[in-house]
Structure 1
Amino acid sequence: MSQKLPPMICRSAAFRNVLRQVDLVAPTEETVLIEGETGTGKEVIAGAIHELSPRCSRPLLKLNCAAIPSGLLESELFGHERGAFTGALSQRVGRFESADQGTLFLDEIGDIPLDLQPKLLRVLQEQEFERLGSNRTVQCNVRIVAATNRNLAKMVAEGTFRADLYYRLSIFPIQLPPLRHRREDVPALVRHFVEDYAQRMNKQIDVIPQPAIDAMQRHAWPGNIRELQNFIARAVILTSGHALEAPLSELLRAEDKIASEPTTLEEAERSHILRILGETNGRLAPAAKILGVPRTTLFYKVRRLGIDLTRTDLGQWRETSALTVDGPISFVA
């Protein structure tokens, strides 16, 4: 592994493999697509790719495509001329021009609107574009590192993401493992975050109890490293002595909640229909409208799923469980 690689906590084979891929692709000029769940560290990996590249002395600019309203995203990426639209009082340079000779990190690339994707594809292929409201071509030399927590291949199949753009972005895909697949890294990550937050809060924490380490290592962390980091921040705030006082009951409640969630498609459908019927006080017609299905379709779904809702008090609804699929259906239509 290159000595230039920014320090990262890595004990697991899964994450060591990621760093090997970073080391291979960083010195090239190729586009990289980083895929992974929310909170797995996609921005950190993008920064490592830039720091290991020949462009490391040039800027690394970042843009979260999901954080910009779709109507403003084109201007944010490519810039605009004065008068290009209402409120465009002066010329604006976009991210591509600003990142010339450097790297542009496009986070949440799956949220780029379909009508803007051809213009992005052109920049990737031709390294040129026009500002909004201009017909003058602007040349740029920018390396793209993109990231997403969405399944772009599925979006391509559904027609919500262009296939040619997907293939151009995924020249070198890197899949980041979720934290539950790199549990060996949890103790070191915990120690790192404890030291960091203790220093920020001017606290002296010398001990992390082993039961706390074990509990954090067992937890699934659906929010991944970001969730772990936030959990440690709360733990440091709660700690009054020299031993970390981690609120482990939070982890148990979260695990109970996950265990109680529907595990099959039928259970999820049943739970969703019950929730909507509860919101409409059992009235079938408005519930069907919310669900976007005909009233008759909802009636047969309710019957097939064996749902019986009985009014109790103040518009609340109780599901009675001793019913068969062909049993009576009780609701207000």
Structure 2
Amino acid sequence: MDTFTRNTTETILESISDGVFTVDHEWKIMSFNHGAEKITGISRKEAIGKHCWNVFRSNMCQNECALKKTMQEGRSFFSSFTYIINCKKKRIPTTVFTSLLKDENGNIIGGVETFRDHSLVEELRKKLNGSFQMGDMISQAQSMRSIFKILPQISQSDSTVLIMGETGTGKELMAKAIHDLSPRKDAPFVAINCSALPDTLLESELFGYKAGAFTHATKDKPGQLSMANEGTVLLDEIGDTSPSFQVKLLRVLEEQAVLPLGAVKKEQINIRIIAATNKNLSQMVDANIFRQDLFYRINVVQLKLPLLKQRMEDIPLLVDHFIAALNKIQGKFVRGLSKTALEILMAHDYPGNIRELENIIEHAFVLCSKGEITPDHLPSSLTRQVMMEIEDSTSRFPLKAAEIKVIRAYLSKNNYDRNATARDLGIHKSTLFRKIDRLGIKLPKIDGRSKKK
């Protein structure tokens, strides 16, 4: 290579924003352009002569080094996603391209790697996801986004909230989101499972007790309600409490005061109560199982969380969230789901709702430490069940079958009112009509718009 060509090449390399560096056969850095300096925060002087893994500290360095594959197999590689650690110990998301480095005679003298900083793309993605997120709750389903829209107003109020939903739909996460958005966010948030304790233990746990109140009560113990003073208390599964306990709880809510067991004087408290249940309290009131006055007291604002099978469009979003969280906790580098694994998850009904989905991903993490989660990493019971359903189905395409299932569920929910169904699904009605036609969904000869109220 003549001097002019070499100088031109160096000028080009210095002018581009991508990072470019070269290594010799001992993996020591020979060149390091300005883009590499800017992305890593490490100067050319510091980098040259060092082993590349000491400079970049990428998640690929241990097992999936694209540059190593290039040197071993003699061909270029492209990595769709990885990250490096810059001089401030910050993770920088990047894409990487590697190729062989040859001299004028075609002899291999090392390798060259080009990497691009995707920090801005990641920030934009987070902002986009942020429009679907409230606290630790994530959703793009219309039913959930309607709740997200009013949640800030609910949070600023001190009114009692009743959260209704099946087990695993995220009732505690919703309560925590309300607390975190409220003026009480710096005070304690206490969650109490009312179904886990018998009445006597539940009373002592919530209200506390004085020394001598019962055997082994050797000293005063404040209750959870007192310890949560100025904060928020979640009474989970409130529908499982007894009528006698409901009377005492009603008194606490009305007086904002507790009477510890064995005490003669009430203690004033200032707390916000959020109640949650997976039962139909209105029906329980009609059956005289739940006190009507307590129901009216806690049912000032009511939020109903949908089942996961009613918001199937959230599964990819939730999976990404769980994978990111588990990668951080376990120090793994799982990139996401394979297409087949996603199809299996989309075809499942989730009787355990979001909690079941989270457990499935956690199971996959036990078997998968890097790359993509495949069907082999999913619980065998899940894959066996879904594959049996697919084999029994007339559809050969799991994603199509899942889409049919979701649309049918929303149509049934809305008494086959197409406009209401499109609104709940967050799509235009013409889009829904095209999907119904394309998927071959048969509709009954009724229209929910003409249903008599």
TM-score, scaled relative to structure 1: 0.72
Counterpart Cα distance in 1 of 2:186 and 2:239: 29
2:56 — aligned with what? none
2:235 — aligned with what? 106
Counterpart Cα distance in 2 of 1:3 and 1:15: 9
**Paired-residue identity, %:** 43
Matched, 1:190 2:319: yes
1:131 is matched with which residue: 251, 260, 263?
Answer: 260
Counterpart Cα distance in 1 of 2:372 and 2:151: 37
1:224 is matched with which residue: 334, 353, 356?
Answer: 353
Matched, 1:250 2:411: no
Q: Which letter does structure 1 place at the counterpart of 2:159?
A: E
Q: Which letter does structure 2 place at the counterpart of 1:130?
A: L
1:328 — aligned with what? none
Counterpart Cα distance in 2 of 1:146 and 1:152: 11
Q: Which letter does structure 1 place at the counterpart of 2:210?
A: E
Alpha-carbon shift at residue 75 of structure 1 (Å) = 0.8
Counterpart Cα distance in 2 of 1:75 and 1:83: 13
Greater share of residues in strand: 2
Counterpart Cα distance in 1 of 2:274 and 2:205: 17
1:87 is matched with which residue: 216, 220, 224?
Answer: 216
Q: Which letter does structure 1 place at the counterpart of 2:297?
A: R
Alpha-carbon shift at residue 17 of structure 1 (Å) = 1.4
Counterpart Cα distance in 1 of 2:270 and 2:312: 40
5+ long unaligned stretches in structure 1: 259-333
Pair 1:200–1:96, CA change in 2 (3 A): closer
Pair 1:16–1:91, CA change in 2 (3 A): same
Q: 2:222 aligns to what SS in structure 1?
A: coil
Q: Which letter does structure 1 place at the counterpart of 2:230?
A: Q
Matched, 1:43 2:149: no
Higher relative contact order (CA 8 A, sep 6+): 1
Alpha-carbon shift at residue 161 of structure 1 (Å) = 1.1
Give matches, 1:129-278, under 5 Å.
129-239=258-368, 242-246=371-375, 247=378, 249-254=380-385
8 Å Cα contact 2:137/2:174 also seen in 1: no
Counterpart Cα distance in 2 of 1:100 and 1:159: 32
2:207 — aligned with what? 78
Pair 1:78–1:238, CA change in 2 (3 A): same
Q: Which letter does structure 2 place at the counterpart of 1:136?
A: K
Alpha-carbon shift at residue 98 of structure 1 (Å) = 1.0
Number of aligned residues: 258
Q: Which letter does structure 2 place at the counterpart of 1:244?
A: I
2:158 — aligned with what? 29
TM-score, scaled relative to structure 2: 0.54
Q: Which letter does structure 2 place at the counterpart of 1:110?
A: G
| Structure 1, 12-21 or 198-207: larger mean CA deviation | 198-207
Counterpart Cα distance in 2 of 1:150 and 1:253: 32
Q: 1:243 aligns to what SS in structure 2?
A: strand
Q: CA RMSD in A?
A: 2.4
Q: 1:173 aligns to what SS in structure 2?
A: strand
8 Å Cα contact 1:5/1:51 also seen in 2: no
Counterpart Cα distance in 1 of 2:282 and 2:301: 14
